[in-house]
Amino acid sequence: MATRRNPEPALVTLRVLAAALAVAFLVGVGPAVAQQPSGSNPTAMSVTEEGLLRELDRVQGRITIPDGKLAVLEQPQGRDYRRFHEGWLPWIAGIAILAMIVAIGVYYFVRGPIRLRRGEESGPTILRFDAFERFTHWMTATSFILLALTGLNYVFGKRLLMPLFGPGAFAEWSQWAKYAHNFLAWPFIIGVLLMLALWVKDNVPDRYDLAWLKAGGGLFGGEEPPSARFNAGQKLIFWSVVIGGAALSVSGILMVFPFALTGIGGMQTAQYVHSIVAAILIAIMIAHIYIGTIGMEGAWNAMGSGQVDLDWARHHHPVWVADQVDRRLDSAAAPAE
């Protein structure tokens, strides 16, 4: 006889089943039901990135950290900058530098270096750059070349050097390159300012420049037109160094002191300007270095000893020589005090 103490086996089974079903319901289905009052896609209500970006200008928020510049929740421009730095920049810098090297190579093998004329190496000399001018030049030149190499490491190091040296050595080199890049910026900035002070008066456009540019300075055939201390090509180098140097210095200082003077947008702009101007100036300097070494016989002396052959100077900078001679004659003629 079935009593409360000894219930029907079927009843027992039923109760066990019901309990099991209840447990299964509670464990399996409960939470889901709890979460989706409507039973639709569970992630539908979560904030998608696209949704957030769409509402970005209406999203209000507060940050408690003192520096308000860091109150940036989403910054889509960061994605554009990464695409530029990892994608476009290596191509821009690579093409600018390689194209210049190839162009100079072709020029050298087709036309060869600008040769000395007879008697341009053995005669009297004239001082073209004094000691302070040469010091200024080489301080700027050396720091620029090291800045260029350590800067290019940011763009090409991972791709070209790391496979060669391995991650450990590359990391070590990159750390030192970063220090060098940060500290060599200062002699470069001082050098550019000194070059500006020393040579701006000789780099003002004058009446010889147009004819020089029209004739391509005699570099592609024909006679080299007369010029003063600096010909139009050198003036372009000078103003590239001054303007490019200023852009590199300002954008560089913004990056040496991150977020001190600008927010994330300004930091990205500084990196765009810095990397593109650097690529262009490096290409220009490759041409300058070519002319200053093997590209023009006799040129090196100007920045080496500072003394150039008088005939060489008459050939390339006749107006400057005439002016120098006049000055000496004037000073010689001036009655002693």
- The radius of gyration of the chain from alpha carbons, rounded to an integer in Å, stands at 35
CB count in 10 Å sphere of residue 298: 19
Residue type at 305 in one-letter notation: S
Distance CA 109, CA 151 (A): 30
> Containing H/E element for 320?
helix 318-333
> Is residue 292 part of the contact set for ligand HEM (CB under 6 A)?
yes
290 binds ligand HEM (CB under 6 A): no
Give yes or no for a contact between 143 and 187, defined as CB atoms under 8 angstroms apart: yes
**Distance of alpha carbon 150 from alpha carbon 277, whole angstroms:** 15
- The number of residues that bind ligand HEM (CB under 6 A) is 22
The stretch among 25-33, 214-222, 264-272, 287-295 that binds ligand HEM (CB under 6 A) is 287-295
Nearer to ligand HEM, 142 or 182 (CB): 142
Q: Is 170 in the site for ligand HEM (CB under 6 A)?
A: no
Contact between 215 and ligand HEM by CB under 6 A: the answer reads no
Nearer to ligand HEM, 227 or 268 (CB): 227
Residues with Cβ within 8 Å of 93's Cβ and at least 6 positions away in sequence, in order, are 152, 155, 156, 275, 278, 279, 282
Retrieve residue 14's tokens: 């039923």
- Asked if residue 286 binds ligand HEM (CB under 6 A), the reply is no
Q: Does 234 bind ligand HEM (CB under 6 A)?
A: yes
Nearer to ligand HEM, 81 or 230 (CB): 230
Report how far residue 232's alpha carbon sits from residue 213's, in angstroms, rounded to the nearest whole number. Answer: 6
Of 102, 117, 310, 125, the closest CA to residue 224 belongs to 117
Q: Which is nearer to ligand HEM, 154 or 230 (CB)?
A: 230
The reply on whether position 114 binds ligand HEM by CB under 6 A is: no
Site string for ligand HEM, 19-58 (x = CB under 6 A): ----------------------------------------
User: Which of 213, 224, 218, 220 shows the shortest CA–CA distance to 319?
Assistant: 224
Per-residue binding letters, 130-169, with ligand HEM (x by CB under 6 A): -------x--xx--xx------------------------
- Tokens 């409960």, located at residue: 30
Q: State yes or no: residue 283 binds ligand HEM (CB under 6 A).
A: no
Among 13, 48, 175, 293, binds ligand HEM (CB under 6 A): 293
The binder of ligand HEM chosen from 93, 96, 152, 241 (CB under 6 A)? 241
Instruction: For the CB of residue 291, give the shortest distance to ligand HEM in the complex, in Å.
Output: 8
Tell which residue, 276, 282, 284, has the closest CA to residue 149.
Answer: 282
DSSP of 143-192:
HHHHHHHHHHHHHHIIIIIHHHHHHHHHHHHHHHHHHHHHHHHHHHHHHH
Member of 93, 126, 128, 212 binding ligand HEM (CB under 6 A): 128
Binding residues (CB under 6 A) for ligand HEM: these are 128, 137, 140-141, 144-145, 195, 199, 230, 234, 237-238, 241, 285, 288-289, 292-293, 299-300, 302-303
